[in-house]
Amino acid sequence: MKISLAEINSKVGDLKYNANLIKKHADIAYRNGAEILITPELSLCGYPPEDLLLETEFIDRCQHYLLEIAKKFPKLKIIIGHPKRKNKLLYNSISLLYRGKINKVYDKQKLPNYGVFDEKRYFSPGNKPGVFKHKGKTFGLLICEDIWELGPLEELNELNVEYIICVNASPYEFNKTKNKFNIIQKRLDKLDDVTLIYLNCVGGQDELLFDGNSFITKPRKNNVNDLSFFSGQFISQNIIADFSKKNHIEITRKYEKFPFHRKILEDSIAQIEVLNEKEFLIYNLLNGLILAMKDYIEKNSIKKLFLGLSGGIDSAVVLFIASKVLSQEKITAIMMPSEFTSNTSLKDANKIASNLRVNYKIIPIQKHIKVFEKTFKNDFEGLDKDITEQNIQARIRGMILMAYANKFKGMVLATGNKSEMAVGYSTIYGDMVGGFSILKDVPKTMVYKIANEINYKKIIIPQRIIDRAPSAELKENQIDEDSLPAYEILDKIIDLHIEKNYSEKELIKFGFSTKLVKKVVNLIKINEFKRRQSAPGPKITSKAFGKDRRYPITNKFRL
């Protein structure tokens, strides 16, 4: 028995494209002798479709393409994720197509409504198990959250299923891979002899990133698992699993092209044995960020990219990622020096632009600054220079970047990171401008690790960029630590407060000074208005700003 697992990269709302993509995988499956093709959760419409689900025509077209696929491959059993309407209610469903029609439908029973998930806004829960027969074997069906909560998995076990197919749209999180597998494995260990086929989608969708990372496993006997397979991360592929041999799966694959930073191994778990675990996680993260930007650019038909190149580490990393997803002649990096820009920054910006062979421009902004000084001379007379003048510089740069993007029909890439976004160390309508912010959920300390990973084989980012103290260079001899604690300390506080929900009192117990904790927490709270207006960027931590953390801008709660 051969089963085809399609780790596909759907486009939200592009039903014709997704249907053709499923047909392509059905053709691969059929030509390779597979009897069942499995596609991910909501693969026909893409995940998450959000308020598209509220449009009647959208649901009707999903049904149209579902039947079209069924009729084209009558001899192949195809499992497709899609939204379904019944009695004015919507369901997150999967259909088993066979002999030109819909043979079986299963509705997701457990609807997640936490973090980035909002499924109860749209869907009603199913209340019946999904079971079908194939070659004398009993198969059970689950959709994502069904396997995490008590009920659906145990119900299938009571029905004596031999195979469980769980289709997913499970977003990537840094350092989640092993933990996710171990939790599911422990749940599976309590069941009878059953084979789990866990399929996840791949690709970037606005603020979400899906890593594939599918697997096949069985309950462990005496702490030994004699059947396991892992697909690897961020690879859009078709996997043919041959179950004809006892306790052994023969695997064949067909990959789609992807501009990996370095060759990715097929087995994510095995990679940890080749690289040390920390190196593996950063290496995989970098490939995930490349995929997130690639999909955002391609799915939104963006042809040209512009970014401000400061000679600092953030813009250097963003430029490298951009260079992996778009040809060099379509990328323009612009250095916009002021009187505070150091020669070191000028040299380093020029060097990385040269290393990556992108278009590079130097547009001095001092004359523009003088115009603003003249404009405000009377009104600002007698007042000390402060953050106002610094922000003017950043906003001049933002305006220049947007002018180029508008005139040449491209998009600006924002270069800020999570640490800066957390405490508002950025200028709204200035360095925050952009259509996409690839580092939005990446802490500053992690940006340094990514830079070192980029340089794993040869120096692409000048080492001086990595080694020197970070600075916005908006005033004389400025460094970030003039305004902020060291990023190693700041990122720990952000992690504990944002991602783990520790209060000020609890943070102080970790050994941070009371003054520092109050300062950082206050900065996080008062800068929600900036974050609300920031460009979208992929979630990679356990709690990203945006869908994950919804904090009121106007509020008076203070400890």
Which residue do the tokens 């309508």 mark? Answer: 429
Using alpha carbons, select from 489, 494, 490 the residue that is nearest to residue 525.
494
* Residue 41 annotated to the active site: yes
For 414-432, letters b (16+ CB in 10 Å) and e give bbbbbbbbbbbbbbbebbb
H or E segment and range at residue 279: helix 277-299
* Residue 144 annotated to the active site: yes
Beta-strand (E) ranges in 45-150?
77-86, 89-98, 101-107, 130-134, 137-143
How far apart, in whole angstroms, are the C-alpha atoms of residue 349 and residue 358? 11
Report the DSSP pairing between strands 36-38 and 77-86. Answer: parallel
- List residues bridging with 216 in a β-sheet: 197, 229
How far apart, in whole angstroms, are the C-alpha atoms of residue 80 and residue 44? 7
Given a contact cutoff of 8 angstroms between Cβ atoms, the answer to whether 119 and 96 are in contact is: no
Which residue do the tokens 């400025």 mark? Answer: 478
Residue 201: C-alpha distances to residues 10, 66, 111, 415, 419 (Å): 8, 18, 18, 27, 29
How far apart, in whole angstroms, are the C-alpha atoms of residue 46 and residue 205? 9
> Could you count the other beta carbons within 10 Å of the beta carbon of residue 233?
23
From 45, 62, 144, 201, the catalytic residue: 144
- The number of C-alpha atoms within 13 Å of 50 and in the hemisphere containing its C-beta is 7
* Residue 263 annotated to the active site: no
From 84, 108, 324, 449, the catalytic residue: 108
322 Cβ contact list (under 8 Å, min separation 6): 293, 305, 307, 331, 358, 413
Amino acid identity at 442: V
Residue 42: C-alpha distances to residues 31, 49, 52, 153, 369 (Å): 25, 9, 13, 20, 51
How far apart, in whole angstroms, are the C-alpha atoms of residue 531 and residue 413? 16
Number of residues that make up the chain: 559
Which two tokens mark 343?
Answer: 């020669």
Phi, psi of 494, rounded to the nearest 5 degrees:
-60, -45
Given a contact cutoff of 8 angstroms between Cβ atoms, the answer to whether 3 and 35 are in contact is: yes
H or E segment and range at residue 27: helix 15-31
From 7, 41, 420, 528, the catalytic residue: 41
Number of H helices, E strands in the chain: 18, 20
Catalytic residues: 41, 108, 144
